[in-house]
Structure 1
Amino acid sequence: MSDLSQIVKAYDIRGVVPDQWDKRAAEALGAGFAQFLRSSHPDSASVVIAHDMRASSPGLAAAFARGVLSEGLDVVEAGLGSTDMLYFAAGSMGMPGAMFTASHNPAQYNGIKLCLAGAKPIGQDSGLREIQANAQAILDGAAPAPTPVTSDVRPEQRDVLIDYARYLRELVDLRGIRPLKIVVDAGNGMGGYTVPAVLGDQLLDSLPLTIVPLYFELDGSFPNHEANPLEPKNLIDLQHAVVQHGADLGLAFDGDADRCFVIDERGEPVSPSAITALVAARELAKHPGDTVIHNLITSSAVPEIIAENGGTPVRSRVGHSFIKAEMARTNAVFGGEHSAHYYFREFWFADTGMLAAMHVLAALGGQPEPLSQLGGEFERYVASGEINSTVQDQKAKQQEVRAAYPDAVVDELDGLTLTFPDGAWLNLRASNTEPLLRLNVEAPTATRMAELRDAVLGLIRR
C-alpha cells in the first residue's frame, strides 16, 4: 500500500522511486486526476502528458496514461519534453497536462507537475488534495481499481517540440541580433533536448548564435553535476567554459529546463533579480503601463526599474503558486523570482526559462556592450543570497530578530521583512518542510550588507 501523503506536496507530486511510489501509484494518480477533471472540469476531454529523461519517467508516464484512459478520457502523449514545453502543449491545445519530472532532485526521485487547460496550475487548494484522495482510495481498495484498457484504446502520439520552438521564436525575434557565442550547460537534463530546437538549427532556420554545448547528453543519473544551477558549485564548469571559449555569455538550465541562470563573459553570475529587471524593461517597452510581479526577496532594484520604465510593480510572496495567482489577478505582463523562475502573460502566465534566456540574448545582441556592462545597469545593490540556519523554534527567533531592530519598518507578507532608513533590508522566512530559517539580506554597499548579515546570523545561531 502506498501512502500518497509522503509524495503529494503543496504544488506537485515528488518522491523516491520505487520506495515511495511506483507504476501502480502512478496509474492510481492518473485515474484520480481524470476523476477530478470529470467532476470539476467536465469539459476536459483529453490530457496531454510529457516526461523528462529520468530512467523511471517513461514507465510512470505510461502508467499514469492508463489510469486516465480507464476513466474515459483521451490521452495525448507528447513524449520527451521540458516542463515549459508541457505548459506550451497544455496552453496551445487547451487541455490539462501532466509533466513527469523531479526537476533538480537527485536521480532516484521522480514527480508530477499537473495543470489545467491553459497551463493553469494545480496545487493543494485547486485540486491536488482531491486528486490525492481519489488515488489513495484506489490504492487502499476503498474504490475500484482502474479498468484495464483494451488494446484498441491507445494514446495519441504528438510531437510538439517544433511548435514549441516556433512559438518562442515568434515571441522573441533573434534573427537581427549581432553574432553571439553561447556556452550552454544543460546538466544532462532536458535543456539538451530543447536548446538545439529553439536556439540551434535542428528544426528551424539557423540564428546568429554559436552554441558550445556542455552536458547535452540526456542522462537522468546526472553524471557530471546536479542539475540545480541555484547551487554555486553546479555553475563552476560553465563559468570556466565561458572564459575558456571567449563566449559572450553562458546559460545553465535545471533538470526539467524551466529555470535558466545566466553567466556573463567574465564567468560571473548575473543575478536573477537583474534578469527580472532586464526582461521587465523589455516587456514594458512593448506593453507600456502594464503590471510586473516580483517576489519580496528580489532586489529593491526590481520595483525601482519597473516604475522607471512606466510599469506597476506588484510584490508577491515567494513561490510559483503565489506569483501565478498575482499574474492572473492583475493580468501582469511578466513576473520574476530570485530562484530564476520567469513567468510570461504571452506564455499562459506559466514559467519558462527558455523565453527569459531569449530576452537576454535579444537585449545583449541588440547593442554592442558586453553582458557585464549591460547587466550592471540592473544591479544596484549588494545581496547576501539565501542563507539557511537550522532552528527548532523559528517563530521565537524571528521575534528575537524583530526586537533587536525596533526602528526598522516591519512587513510580514512572507516571514519577517525589516527595512532600514538607508535602504538595507532583510527577510527571514521559515521553511515549510524543515527546521530551517532562510535569511536574505540586501544593502547599498558590501560593507553594510556583511555587517547586517553577520549581526542577524549571530542572533539566529546563538
Structure 2
Amino acid sequence: MQKKLERLQSSSDIRGIAVQFEDREVTLNRETAALLAQGYISHISKRLGKNPEDMRVSLGVDSRVTGEKLKCAFAEVLMDAGMEVYDFGLATTPSMFMSTVFENYKCDSAVMFTASHLPFYYNGIKFFTDKGGFENEDIKEITEKAIELSEKQAKKHIQKGKINRTSILKDYSEFLVNKIREGVNSSKNYEKPLEGMRIIVDAGNGSGGFFAKEVLEVLGADTTGSAFLNPDGNFPNHIPNPEDQTAINFLKKSVTENNADLGIIFDTDVDRAACVDKAGNEINRNRLIALTSAIVLDEFPGSTIVTDSVTSDEVHEFIVRSGGKHFRYQRGYKNVINKALELNRQGIQCHLAIETSGHAAFKENKFLDDGAYLTAKILIKLAKLNEEGKNIEDLLEGYKEPEESKEIRLRITADSRNEYMDKLMKDIETHSKKTENWKQVKENYEGIRVNCTYKEGKGWFLLRSSLHEPIICINIESNFQNGTDLITKEVTDILKNYKEIEMSGL
C-alpha cells in the first residue's frame, strides 16, 4: 500500500492508474482514495486552522468512467469527519476553484477528480483553496499522512456532515458570459456580441461540452459543426488534448468544412485550450502564446509575459516587438504561475503566465490556469475585431513560426539521475565553449539551452530532465530546412559517450 500511495504523487496533484489496462497495476481505487481523503482532512484542517465539522468542501469530476466511484469514496470520509460537502458532479477544474470564490458557495476547499489529457485508464485528484492550487509540498504531506493511516485502522468520527448535490457549471457559464459581454461592451448588441459568427467547439467527450450551449449560443454564436460535446470517459473519438495532432486536425477540418470563424478545443477538465482560425491554421503552443501575449499587451503595455523553457526564439522576438518583456522560465504550469506571482510581489508588472501545453493564467483571474477563461479573452478580441472587419489572425501579423521543431525523449537508466544530468550538462557547456557555432544561453532556468549558428541559418536546442520521469528531453528548433537534423547529429555525438542513456529514441 505504501508504494501505491507514493507513486500517486505527480508534482502538485495526484495521478494514478484507475482502470485495469493490459499489465498496468491499479493504484488509484476506492481504498487509496479513502486514505488520501484522510490525509487531506488532516492537511486542510491544519492549513486553515478549522475543525472538519466547521468546513465546507466541494467535489467534482470530469467525464472519466472512474470519477464517480473515487468521488464517493472520498466524500464518505469527509462526511464521517463532519464536513459539509457540495457534490457538483460533472465539472471543470477551473469551475471547482471558483466554488471557493463564488459568494453562493464560498467553499473552504475544492477537490477535482481528473487526470487531464491522460488516457481513459488514468484518474487523479487536484486540490484548491481560494488562494489557488496545492503545491508539491501539500501533496507530499497528504500522501505521507495517508501512508501513516494505511498502517493502522483509522477511526471514524461519530458526527456526520451533510451533502448538497447540485451543479456549478451553470454559475460558471454565467460568469464567462458576463465576462465576454462586459469585455466586448458592444453598442450594437450587448446581449449577443457573438451574433453572426460561427464558432465550433470540440470537447473530445470531456467536460467542456457545456461551453457551446451555455456560453456561445447564449452570446448569439452559431455552433453548427461542434463535435463530441457529450461526456464519455472512454474518449471514443480522440484524446481531449489541445496538443494532440489528431484532435487538432479534426478541428481544422471542421472549421474549414463549416466555414467557421473560429474553432476551439479543450482538454478533459478544461484547464487548457487551443484554437483554429477561419483559414484552418492551428493556434496552439508557440502560436497560442504569441496570440495571448498580443491580447494582454494591448491591454497592459509593457507587461512581462512568463513562459516555460521550450518557447521559441520567434515568440521572444514577437513579445519584445509588441512592447512586452519576456521571462522564459521552467516547464510546468505551476512553475510559470508561481514565477508570475513572485514577479508581481517584487513590483514587476506581469499579467500573463502561459505554458506551451496550453495552460494560461491571467493576473485578472487570480492566476488560475483556465482554458475557458483563455477562450473568453480570445472571443472578446474576436468580437471587437469582427466589428472592425478584421480577423483574429491579424493580431499575429509579423509573427513567424520556426521552420522546423521537434522533441526527443531518451530514457536514463543511471541510479543517480541528477548527478548524471549535471555531468552531461557540464560536458555540453564545455563543448559549446570550444565550438564556434554553439553559444550557451546564460539567462536560462532549466537544463542547458544552446544557440546554434550555421551558414544556412540559425537554431537552438534545450536539454533538460523530465519533470516526472527518468527521461532526458531535447527540444530543437531551426529556421532552415534540415536544421533540426543537423543539430540532432551534433548533440548525438556527445550523448553516444553516455552508456546509461537509451539511444533508441534517436
Query: What residue number does 1:408 align with?
Result: 439
Q: How many residues are treated as equivalent by the alignment?
A: 453
SS at match of 1:338: coil
Question: For the Cα contact (< 8 Å) 2:83–2:162, is it kept in 1?
Answer: no
Query: What residue number does 1:20 align with?
Result: 27
Query: What residue number does 2:410 align with?
Result: 389
Distance 2:274 2:481 in 1: 23
Deviation at 1:252, TM superposition (A): 1.6
Which residue, 215, 220, 240 being the options, matches 1:198? 215
Question: For the Cα contact (< 8 Å) 1:82–1:194, is it kept in 2?
Answer: no
Seen in structure 2, the aligned counterparts of structure 1 residues 14 and 397 have a Cα distance that, compared at 3 Å, is same
Equivalences for residues 354-373 of structure 1 within 5 A? 354-367=372-385, 368-371=389-392
Equivalences for residues 278-289 of structure 1 within 5 A? 278-289=291-302
Whether 2:196 is the aligned partner of 1:179: answer yes
Which residue, 319, 325, 338 being the options, matches 2:356? 338
Counterpart residue identity of residue 378, structure 1: Y
Deviation at 1:158, TM superposition (A): 4.0
Distance 1:282 1:45 in 2: 39
The 10-residue stretch of structure 1 (340-349 or 427-436) with the greater mean CA deviation from structure 2:
427-436
Equivalences for residues 65-214 of structure 1 within 5 A? 65-92=75-102, 93=106, 95-118=108-131, 120-125=132-137, 127-141=138-152, 144-147=154-157, 150=160, 153-172=161-180, 173=183, 175-176=192-193, 179-201=196-218, 206-214=219-227
Deviation per CA, 1:45-85: give whole Å up to 9, x if none: 22221111112111211221222233333222222111111
Counterpart residue identity of residue 286, structure 2: S
Deviation at 1:170, TM superposition (A): 3.4
The 10-residue stretch of structure 1 (165-174 or 92-101) with the greater mean CA deviation from structure 2:
165-174
SS at match of 1:424: strand
SS at match of 2:260: coil
Equivalences for residues 420-439 of structure 1 within 5 A? 420=452, 424-439=459-474
Whether 2:214 is the aligned partner of 1:217: answer no
Seen in structure 2, the aligned counterparts of structure 1 residues 160 and 427 have a Cα distance that, compared at 3 Å, is same
Counterpart residue identity of residue 344, structure 1: F
Query: What residue number does 2:70 align with?
Result: 60
Distance 2:424 2:397 in 1: 35
Deviation per CA, 1:272-300: give whole Å up to 9, x if none: 22222222222233233433211121123
Seen in structure 2, the aligned counterparts of structure 1 residues 346 and 243 have a Cα distance that, compared at 3 Å, is same
Seen in structure 2, the aligned counterparts of structure 1 residues 110 and 180 have a Cα distance that, compared at 3 Å, is same
Question: For the Cα contact (< 8 Å) 2:58–2:111, is it kept in 1?
Answer: yes
Counterpart residue identity of residue 286, structure 1: E
Question: For the Cα contact (< 8 Å) 2:82–2:157, is it kept in 1?
Answer: no
Counterpart residue identity of residue 313, structure 1: H
Distance 2:394 2:326 in 1: 24
Seen in structure 2, the aligned counterparts of structure 1 residues 341 and 163 have a Cα distance that, compared at 3 Å, is same
Question: For the Cα contact (< 8 Å) 1:138–1:145, is it kept in 2?
Answer: no
Counterpart residue identity of residue 139, structure 1: S
The 10-residue stretch of structure 1 (86-95 or 388-397) with the greater mean CA deviation from structure 2:
388-397
Distance 2:177 2:289 in 1: 20
Equivalences for residues 371-382 of structure 1 within 5 A? 371=392, 374-375=395-396, 377-382=398-403
Question: For the Cα contact (< 8 Å) 2:441–2:451, is it kept in 1?
Answer: yes
Deviation per CA, 1:234-273: give whole Å up to 9, x if none: 3232222222222223222111121112223343322322
Distance 2:411 2:141 in 1: 33
Distance 2:280 2:413 in 1: 38
Query: What residue number does 2:367 align with?
Result: 349
Question: For the Cα contact (< 8 Å) 2:243–2:284, is it kept in 1?
Answer: no
Seen in structure 2, the aligned counterparts of structure 1 residues 32 and 391 have a Cα distance that, compared at 3 Å, is closer
SS at match of 1:350: coil
SS at match of 2:312: coil
Query: Which protein shows a greater Rg?
Result: 2
Note the residue ranges of structure 2 that are not aligned, 5 or more in a row.
20-25, 185-191, 345-349, 415-419, 496-502
Distance 2:82 2:258 in 1: 54
TM-score, scaled relative to structure 2: 0.81
Question: For the Cα contact (< 8 Å) 1:50–1:86, is it kept in 2?
Answer: yes
Note the residue ranges of structure 1 that are not aligned, 5 or more in a row.
none
